[in-house]
Structure 1
Amino acid sequence: MINVILADDQKIVREGIKMILSLDEGINILGEAENGKQLLILLEKALPDVILMDVRMPIMDGVVATKIIKEKYADVKVIILTTFSEDEYIFKAIKNGADGYILKDAGSDYIIKAIKTAYDGTMFLDPGVALKIVTAFNSLTSENHSSNKVYNQKYKLDALTPREIDVAKLIAQGKNNKYICEILFLRLGTVKNYVTKILEKLELNSRTELAVFISKCQI
């Protein structure tokens, strides 16, 4: 059973999502919140597997809430609900460690798939959101191509061991820790340690940032 908490300031949105999730017997609605602050209070009483959270909320938005949640409850998966035009929020949420990004108008099957994918430890990006991320990164790289930015990215990779590079490549392919364990014959705790070290060495904050980084370095 996957325990889920919904966080959205619009009651009608929460009711709609609850109706969608009720269609799957493997998902349980553990609670709901109207903003990030209320969500954090709720987490002190009930810890879910996955949080489905609106990026724009009063008092405390989804970006700030994601940062705090990931610092305090690293194993809780956070899926951001966004609209196609909220670029700034999307990029900030990525840096804060969100595990998935889906558009608010996504279909019921898509929302359920996103929750199950994040729960399994794999990043879930709506194609539209993924395109924005790659486009923005390509633009940034192009603007700085003549500078030391690309060189610095390649230089950072030299700090990784061969095994860490193997793990990084698999993460960039969207593979979860369980899959990485099986393919590289490693223990789960070992893979988690590798992921932590890789992010530290490359000065990144999330698996999503790592995936984009590896993609641009073309290793």
Structure 2
Amino acid sequence: MIKVLIAEDKRLIGEGFKFIIDSDNEIEVVGLALNGYEAFELCKLHNPELVLMDLKMPCCDGIEGTKLIKSYSSDIKVLVLTTFDDDDIVAEALKNGADGYILKDINAEKLIATIKGTSKGLNVIDESVYQNIVNRFNQTDNKKPEYALTEREIKLIELVVCGKSNKEIAAALKITEGRVKNIITSILSKLGLSDRTSLAVYAVKNKYINKRFNYD
């Protein structure tokens, strides 16, 4: 059973999502929060596998809520849910550890599939938002020189795109977490990138990996 926590300041919308999610016999909603801090506190109480996180909330928004939850447990997946297809907001949420981003007009069937996919480690981003990030990346990427990446670096990038934490990457590659951080820093410097989000987009765009953020 996948335990899901919903963070949404509008109770009616939150209850609507709860009704849809609870209709699937593999998923259970364990709590409803009205802001990011409440979501953080409920995570400590219920330890859900996934948090469905609205971005625009009072007191503590979804961006800060994501940061709090990920600082508590990197294993809890955070799926950002909003009506705003603003790539700046998306990038900020992803930098704080969000595992995916979908718009509120998503249909029920795809919402269920997205929750299941994210809980299994897939990074899910709405197609229109993904394209915005790619287009933005392309505007500056033409000036970047091409560098060859080692086999280990490519494997590490693949794990980053899969949403793995530094601890999980270290275990998979049989190296220390400190070494993982150093390799990521080196890759970002080598490619002239600023964060994991731009690194993941670079990897997909340049076909270092075949996996894509969007999930159907």
User: TM-score scaled by structure 2?
Assistant: 0.78
Verify the 8 A CA contact 1:100 1:123 in the aligned structure 2.
yes
Query: Where does residue 138 of structure 1 map in the other structure?
Result: 138
TM-aligned CA distance change 1:93 to 1:26, over 3 Å:
same
Query: Where does residue 38 of structure 2 map in the other structure?
Result: 38
Partner secondary structure for residue 122 of structure 1: coil
User: Any stretches of 5+ residues in structure 1 without a counterpart?
Assistant: 178-186
- Per the TM alignment, residue 10 of structure 1 is displaced from its structure 2 partner at its CA by 0.5
Q: Is 1:162 paired with 2:151?
A: yes
Q: Give the aligned CA root-mean-square deviation in angstroms.
A: 2.8
Verify the 8 A CA contact 1:50 1:79 in the aligned structure 2.
yes
* Aligned partner (choices 190, 195, 212) of residue 201 of structure 2: 212
Query: Where does residue 214 of structure 2 map in the other structure?
Result: none
Q: Is 1:62 paired with 2:47?
A: no
The superposition leaves residues 118-156 of structure 1 with CA deviations (integer Å, 9 ceiling, x where unpaired) of: 1111111111111111112122335xx2xxxx24xx56x
User: Any stretches of 5+ residues in structure 2 without a counterpart?
Assistant: 189-193, 209-216
Partner secondary structure for residue 45 of structure 2: coil
User: TM-score scaled by structure 1?
Assistant: 0.77
The superposition leaves residues 10-51 of structure 1 with CA deviations (integer Å, 9 ceiling, x where unpaired) of: 011101101111221000111110001111221221211000
Number of matched pairs: 196
Query: Where does residue 212 of structure 2 map in the other structure?
Result: none
Query: Where does residue 5 of structure 2 map in the other structure?
Result: 5
Query: Where does residue 184 of structure 1 map in the other structure?
Result: none
| AA aligned opposite 2:39 | L
The 5 A counterparts of 1:15-30 are 15-30=15-30
Query: Where does residue 128 of structure 2 map in the other structure?
Result: 128
TM-aligned CA distance change 1:188 to 1:26, over 3 Å:
farther
Verify the 8 A CA contact 1:199 1:205 in the aligned structure 2.
no
TM-aligned CA distance change 1:210 to 1:87, over 3 Å:
closer
- Per the TM alignment, residue 202 of structure 1 is displaced from its structure 2 partner at its CA by 3.2
